Amino acid sequence: MTDTSVLINDEDEAAPAGPGIEIKSLYKIFGPNPQKWIDCVKAGMSKEELNRKHGHVLGLTDISLEIPPGKISVIMGLSGSGKSTLIRHINGLIAPTVGEIVCDGADICQMSAKTLRQFRRSRTAMVFQKFALLPHRTVLENTCYGLDIQGVPRATSEPVARRWITRVGLKGFEESYPSQLSGGMQQRVGLARALATDADILLMDEAFSALDPLIRLDMQAVLLELQQELQKTIVFITHDLDEALRLGDRIAILRDGKLEQVGTGQQIVQHPANDYVSAFVREVNRGRVLQAATVAGPLPEGKLPAMTLPGKLVLEEAARRMLDAGVLRATVVSARNRPRGVLEMADLLSAMVQRTETSPQ
């Protein structure tokens, strides 16, 4: 099938006001003298050779990545791919061997210790896989913690914390301790603590990975609901493709410290960049991932089909609605109900069962 897909995105959504992040040519070598070997790595020295011959570990190789403001950017990869190393560069917990990380025109890697501390406290918040709650503090006190670090008085911070505790569904548990909560409830506290600081940038490192599957889905739904309103710049780390596809406005796939592909979930599922990415997406239920706008053809001249479908409707539901209506064609519309393309039943079914093809290099 010829790729004539219609993208329905930017013109139908208000531009987020928060900061974006640009990562430029980032390398990270772990060891006693990383600067000595950076030119060799740039010239092509492999990770294995660097480790075997010189006792250094190559963590990240030439990472250039734009993280758009107000969106969820997912960094996905298997264990050892470098995803947690990368997210820790964004708030300066790890310094690169070379490279830049630019936010609002300032290079985080060049900030003074004082400026970096202020950046971490006021501009970023982190949600951890293991919850990282203080066991001697109540839910309310844990939620206040980031504001305590900023020096905000409790008279000001407690009403803010109570509001976020309610928003994440924990009203009534303010005086409970972490040991009295389930894993899902503890992670809700971690999310409330991060949101209470009103940081522009939210860093989530395998935040839901330790949760049971149903609780994990519930937390994903909570995050998506909050993000629809808040439009934070979120960097979300995961090893799970289903989670990446559900949450990510954009997805970056890492392997051995290198970027394999960056794109929307739709782009990655339909057009994996190489065999490695193709192996990730092979078992994806395309009908529950691909959207009507991705498969729709361009608007024809003349009369449009009377039936309309939202551009972000997944193909499985689009097929169900078209079958119920007894139609073979539907007009795909934007969030503002503007016609953007026409979806043919034949193209829809083909996209749902079509073998994934690797994009040409």
Please give the helix or strand (H or E) that residue 308 lies within, else none.
strand 308-310
Q: Is the pLDDT at 355 greater than 80, yes or no?
A: no
Q: Tell which residue, 93, 84, 20, has the closest CA to residue 236.
A: 84
Q: What is the structure's pLDDT at 332?
A: 97
Residues 261 and 291: their CA atoms lie apart, in Å, by 20
329 in helix, strand or coil? strand
pTM value is 0.88
Q: What is the pLDDT of residue 357?
A: 57
pLDDT computed for residue 275 by the predictor = 93
Indicate whether 63 pLDDT > 70.
yes
Q: What is the pLDDT of residue 128?
A: 83
pLDDT of residue 211: 86
Alpha-carbon distances, residue 154 vs 41, 141, 143, 162 (angstroms): 50, 9, 11, 11
User: What are the residues facing 23 on neighbouring strands?
Assistant: 65, 101
Tally of residues, the chain: 361
Residue-wise pLDDT tens digits, 6-51: 444 444 555 565 689 999 999 999 999 999 999 999 999 999 999 9
Mean pLDDT of 237-256: 94
Q: What is the C-alpha separation between 150 and 353, in angstroms, rounded?
A: 53
Q: Is it the case that residue 317 has pLDDT exceeding 80? A: yes
Q: For 272-296, how does the pLDDT look when each residue is reduced to its tens digit (9 = 90+)?
A: 999 999 988 988 899 989 999 999 9
Domains of the chain: 66-97+112-281 (3.40.50.300), 290-353 (3.90.1280.20)
Closest residue by Cα to residue 78 from 223, 217, 202, 244: 244
* Mean pLDDT score across all residues of the chain: 91
Mapping DSSP onto H, E and C, the string for 187-219 reads HHHHHHHHHHCCCCEEEEECCCCCCCHHHHHHH
In whole angstroms, give the CA distance from residue 276 to residue 273.
8
